[in-house]
Chains A and B, each alone.
Chain A
Amino acid sequence: GQNIDQPTEMTATEGAIVQINCTYQTSGFNGLFWYQQHAGEAPTFLSYNVLDGLEEKGRFSSFLSRSKGYSYLLLKELQMKDSASYLCAVLPSGGYNKLIFGAGTRLAVHP
C-alpha cells in the first residue's frame, strides 16, 4: 500500500530553525514534493527532490534519502508568516502522475 507519515503539529519560535520529517512507503518513487498551505488557500510548491541529498532554496531546504524512505523540510530564520500546514507528497512510479499526500504538518510559529 501507499503510506506517508508526518507529524500532525509542531510549534517553534520566531527566528529559530524547525525540521519537519516525512517518511514514505510507496509503490515506486519518482520524486518527493513539499508544499506549503495557508488556511483556505491553495497549496504552493516549495521543493522537489528526486535524488538523495540536500536541496537549498533560501530559508527553506529539503533533504531526501531514498534508501530510508525519508525526507525532511528545514525552515530557517522562522517568521510568523511561516505558520501554515506543510504537505509532503510522493510521485510514485508506474507511469502515473498522481501525487500521494501525507496528512500535513501544522506549524505554529510564535513570538
Chain B
Amino acid sequence: EDQVTQSPEALRLQEGESSSLNCSYTVSGLRGLFWYRQDPGKGPEFLFTLYSAGEEKEKERLKATLTKKESFLHITAPKPEDSATYLCAVQGVVVDSNSGYALNFGKGTSLLVTP
C-alpha cells in the first residue's frame, strides 16, 4: 500500500531563514509526486509535479527535488506570505481497477514565517 510521510508536522521560521520540508514515500512504481500549498479556509493549490529521481523544479522561492525514496521542498529566504500548509501526494502505478486514480496524500507540514 502506498504511504506518504511528511516531516516536520509544523515549522516556524524567521523571515529570510531558509529550510526544507521532507516527504518520504513508499509506492509500487511512482507515476508522479505532487506538491500543493493550502491556505486556511481554501483548497490545495498545485505547485509542482515530479516524475523521476533527480528531477528538480523551481517557482519563486520554492524548489522541489526528488529521489527514489523522498522529496524535499526547499524554501529559500521565506517571506510571511509563504506561511501555509504544504501537502505532498504520490500516484503509483495501477494495481487494480480501483487504484489507478488515487493520489495518496501526506498529513502536511504547517509552515509559519514570522517577520
Partners in one complex: no
